[in-house]
Amino acid sequence: MSDDPRSMADESLQLLAAEASADEQVIDGALRPQLLADFVGQQVVREQLSLVLDAAKARGTAPDHILLSGPPGLGKTTLAMIVAHELNAPLRVTSGPAIQHAGDLAAVLSSLAEGEVLFLDEIHRMARPAEEMLYVAMEDFRVDVVVGKGPGATAIPLDLPPFTLVGATTRAGMLPGPLRDRFGFTGHLDFYAPAELERVLRRSAELLSLELTAEAAAEIAGRSRGTPRISNRLLRRVRDWAQVRGSGVLDLAAARAALEVYAVDERGLDRLDRSVLEALCRRFGGGPVGLSTLAVAVGEEPETVETVSEPFLVREGLLGRTPRGRIATPATWEHLGLTAPAGFVWTGAGAGGSTLTSRSGMVQDPLPDPDT
Ligand code: ADP
């Protein structure tokens, strides 16, 4: 294993990224529950969705449009597939980035069958003109197809059969109000508790015909960052270890050894996460330090640090974001086994996030933070 920060980060990105890699989408598919009853956790969303679907089935109509929001890897695609499966309806899958022109959307909408479920992933990344077309389609089941160009162009209204749109987004806040308002049901998915991830792991192990001990399931769940996709991915790495170096059984020793190979610690932090925290504390005295400066210090792109490492570190209370830059928290120092410099005063999370009010006696003065 190389110590080059770039390749270290690449490993991290593959193993603990919540997004699926291309080949993983196939594996994900095999492990996806098909019924709401098999979908682990997310009790509130599950119950509400079950009501929406049962009511639609009883009425014999297409259910309201459904918006699912939440971080990657928590089950939005899986739920969209479950909706179609439960309704016994065909499913069409597309995504915001694939819809760059209104015409792209018109082509999809005009070919929908009655009752079809249209899954639009990353709906916040759809082009603006398409958004407006979607409003009308969602509300009036109609699409205006523009024929011709320039002053001679005419809009021909085309009636659509009733369909159900399932939109998914990692950024609900980026959706324009009028679009959000057209969804009859909105469900927000949250990170999973370790016990729920253990259930996901047990289910996956069964589907893959693996022998997974309870201790190993707990160990993997604890390192999965609250994300089923990561649980399933770590499970496969533990399987590799158990089959190649162990007895074939996925037990605690196999789980620990495999996760050590990939440098995933007991809290689910990987090398990149630890490099960020080490740099923050050792090189910048706990901050505040700007994102770009911090990224340079760990040899990564600012965007990678911001999207891959930070959300988890902030959630774990290991990193604070302030208007002046990133700062260490008492938990950061403790996690690294370091002592905070004299004068490091942490006042906890304020209304606008974590705040650090006094840092007199810090090792170094705050850097200007143009990039936070
Ligand atoms: P998202 O669309 O939110 O990125 P996915 O629906 O693709 O996430 O889920 C990623 C993987 O995690 C899939 O393989 C799926 O089987 C698994 N998964 C997600 N949520 C659950 C759940 N609640 N129960 C069981 N498996 C789940």
Residue 364 lies in a domain: no
Residue with CA nearest ligand 1 atom 11: 229
What's the pTM?
A: 0.83
DSSP class per residue in 159-190:
E----EEEEEES-GGGS-HHHHHT-SEEEE--
- Could you tell me the distance, in angstroms and rounded to a whole number, from the CA of residue 298 to the centre of ligand 1? 31
Provide the domain limits for residue 263.
Answer: 1-19+192-268
Name every protein residue with a CB atom under 6 angstroms from any ligand 1 atom: 28, 31-33, 39-42, 72-78, 200, 228-229, 232
Q: What is the pLDDT of residue 361?
A: 34
**Which ligand 1 atom is the nearest neighbour of the CA of 231?**
12
**Domain containing 282 — which CATH number?**
1.10.10.10
**Which ligand 1 atom is the nearest neighbour of the CA of 74?**
3
Residue 212 lies in a domain: yes
Residue 6 lies in a domain: yes
Domain boundary among 268, 285, 300: 268
Helical residues (DSSP H) of the chain, grouped into ranges:
5-16, 24-31, 43-59, 76-87, 102-110, 128-140, 177-181, 194-207, 214-222, 228-244, 252-261, 271-278, 291-297, 302-304, 310-315, 330-336
- Could you tell me the distance, in angstroms and rounded to a whole number, from the CA of residue 120 to the centre of ligand 1? 16
- Could you tell me the distance, in angstroms and rounded to a whole number, from the CA of residue 315 to the centre of ligand 1? 20
**Token output for 364:** 């170094």
Residue 30 lies in a domain: no
Burial of 141 (0-12, 13-18, 19+ CB in 10 A): middle
Claim to verify: residue 229 and residue 284 sit in the same structural domain:
no
Give the pLDDT confidence of 199-232 residue by residue, as tens digits.
Answer: 999 999 999 999 999 999 999 999 999 999 999 9
Instruction: Choose which residue among 69, 74, 166 to substitute to test ligand 1 binding: the one with the highest number of ligand atoms within 8 A of its C-beta.
Output: 74
Q: What is the pLDDT of residue 25?
A: 66
DSSP class per residue in 240-256:
HHHHHTS-SSB-HHHHH
Q: What is the pLDDT of residue 351?
A: 35
AA letter at 329: T
Q: What is the pLDDT of residue 346?
A: 67
Q: Given the structure tokens 């209104």, which residue do they identify?
A: 102
Residue 368 lies in a domain: no
- Say how far apart CA 28 and CA 326 lie, in whole Å: 34
Claim to verify: residue 213 and residue 255 sit in the same structural domain:
yes
- Could you tell me the distance, in angstroms and rounded to a whole number, from the CA of residue 78 to the centre of ligand 1? 5
Claim to verify: residue 182 and residue 98 sit in the same structural domain:
yes
Q: What is the pLDDT of residue 167?
A: 97
Residue 338 lies in a domain: yes
* Closest-CA residue to 63 (of 49, 77, 75, 79): 49
Identify any residues that bridge with 124 across adjacent strands, giving them in sequence order.
none
Instruction: Choose which residue among 25, 32, 232 to substitute to test ligand 1 binding: the one with the highest number of ligand atoms within 8 A of its C-beta.
Output: 32
Domain boundary among 245, 268, 291: 268
Residue 56 lies in a domain: yes
Q: What is the pLDDT of residue 24?
A: 65
Number of independent structural domains in the chain: 3
Domain boundary among 188, 210, 243: 188
Q: What is the pLDDT of residue 6?
A: 42
Q: What is the pLDDT of residue 282?
A: 94
Report, as ranges of residue numbers, the positions in the chain whose pLDDT lies below 50.
1-9, 11-12, 349-372
Residue 26 lies in a domain: no
The DSSP call for residue 263 is T
Claim to verify: residue 121 and residue 180 sit in the same structural domain:
yes
Claim to verify: residue 116 and residue 143 sit in the same structural domain:
yes
Catalytic residues: 76-77, 121, 170, 229
Q: What is the pLDDT of residue 307?
A: 82
Claim to verify: residue 69 and residue 112 sit in the same structural domain:
yes
How far CA 305 is from CA of 122, 144, 148, 226, in Å, comes to 21, 43, 47, 19
* Closest-CA residue to 291 (of 273, 306, 279): 306
Give the pLDDT confidence of 129-174 residue by residue, as tens digits.
Answer: 899 899 999 999 999 887 888 888 888 899 999 999 999 998 888 8
Claim to verify: residue 184 and residue 47 sit in the same structural domain:
yes
- Could you tell me the distance, in angstroms and rounded to a whole number, from the CA of residue 332 to the centre of ligand 1? 30
Claim to verify: residue 60 and residue 170 sit in the same structural domain:
yes
Q: What is the pLDDT of residue 121?
A: 95
Residue with CA nearest ligand 1 atom 15: 32
